[in-house]
């Protein structure tokens, strides 16, 4: 205990380099702290430190033109609107780099406290996993949003079919259904109602509604409505009733797929636990052999 091994020296040297680099980024990015002050804690944990990762983004000179970035732009447009694409794309990278660097910087103090190389390596691996995980957050939000829309979709179609069949115009029925409940799909319907009331043509407002949803079933439904509007209220009612029947069947299939997907998601946590156990068992063995 009274001397340092070669492993100790190497690990501490690496840790000090990480710490110095983190401190450098901290003071370099401090001037941009206000950019992240308004972010919410629920979606953006530790956002008070995102300027650290943002300093690294600027240092690397990322141009945000990769295929991954183009996909992220589409996701941001749906979640936050076209106007905020560039801002939230930078927030995403700042978040990913900050979480990764923070976890990796804590690896050295953790090693000094435990004198366990496996814990040091595990902390470094977790930092890399954090970088990957926070890169998938927006995709998960989109998926969650789509799932919520699909859950509400069957009910919305049934209500619309009932009201239009009772003699309401589509505009009247759409507005009544939009204000009848709370939820993601109902919120998007309210936006389209506001657009209609502000002078945007009904067909255009419905088309934008379909584009914002990014759900194929909703887009197909909007296409059906547009066709019904051109053919008259009678055909529209028949189309809505038919869509309602089809959607109930699709919802049953969707619920079955959702149950199967929930089981498959358990594989990743089990794999991570296995890797962690493997590191904690194997690394000390090789360390003893080497020393």
Domains of the chain, CATH where assigned: 6-135 (no CATH), 143-265 (1.20.81)
Average pLDDT of span 55-81: 86
Average pLDDT of span 156-183: 83
**Structure confidence at residue 73 (pLDDT):** 87
pTM of the predicted model as reported, rounded to 2 decimal places:
0.69
Check whether 291 has a pLDDT greater than 50: no
Q: Which of 141, 45, 62, 142 is nearest to 98 (CA)?
A: 45
Check whether 69 has a pLDDT greater than 80: yes
């Amino acid at each position: 205990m009274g001397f340092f091994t070669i492993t100790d020296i190497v690990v501490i040297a690496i840790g000090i380099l990480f710490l110095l680099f983190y401190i450098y980024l901290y003071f370099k990015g401090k001037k941009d702290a206000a950019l992240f002050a308004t972010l919410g804690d629920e979606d953006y944990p530790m956002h008070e430190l995102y300027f650290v990762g943002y300093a690294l983004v600027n240092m690397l000179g990322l141009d945000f033109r990769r295929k991954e970035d183009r996909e992220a732009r589409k996701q941001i447009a749906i979640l936050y609107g076209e106007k905020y694409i560039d801002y939230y794309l930078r927030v995403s990278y700042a978040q990913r780099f900050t979480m990764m660097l923070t976890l990796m910087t804590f690896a050295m103090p953790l090693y000094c406290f435990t004198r366990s190389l496996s814990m040091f390596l595990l902390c470094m691996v977790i930092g890399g996993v954090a970088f990957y995980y926070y890169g998938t957050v927006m995709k998960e939000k989109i998926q969650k949003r789509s799932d919520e829309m699909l859950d509400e979709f069957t009910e919305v179609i049934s209500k619309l079919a009932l009201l239009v069949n009772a003699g309401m115009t589509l505009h009247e029925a759409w507005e009544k259904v939009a204000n009848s409940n709370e939820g993601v799909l109902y919120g998007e319907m309210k936006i389209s109602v506001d657009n209609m009331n502000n002078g945007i043509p009904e067909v255009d407002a419905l088309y934008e509604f379909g584009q914002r949803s990014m759900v194929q079933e909703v887009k197909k439904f909007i296409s059906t409505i547009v066709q019904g509007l051109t053919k008259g209220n009678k055909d529209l009612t028949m189309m809505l009733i038919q869509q309602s029947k089809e959607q109930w069947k699709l919802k049953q299939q969707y619920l079955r797929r959702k149950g199967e997907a929930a089981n498959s998601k358990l594989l990743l946590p089990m794999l991570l636990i296995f890797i962690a156990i493997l590191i904690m068992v194997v690394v000390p063995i090789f360390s003893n052999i080497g020393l």
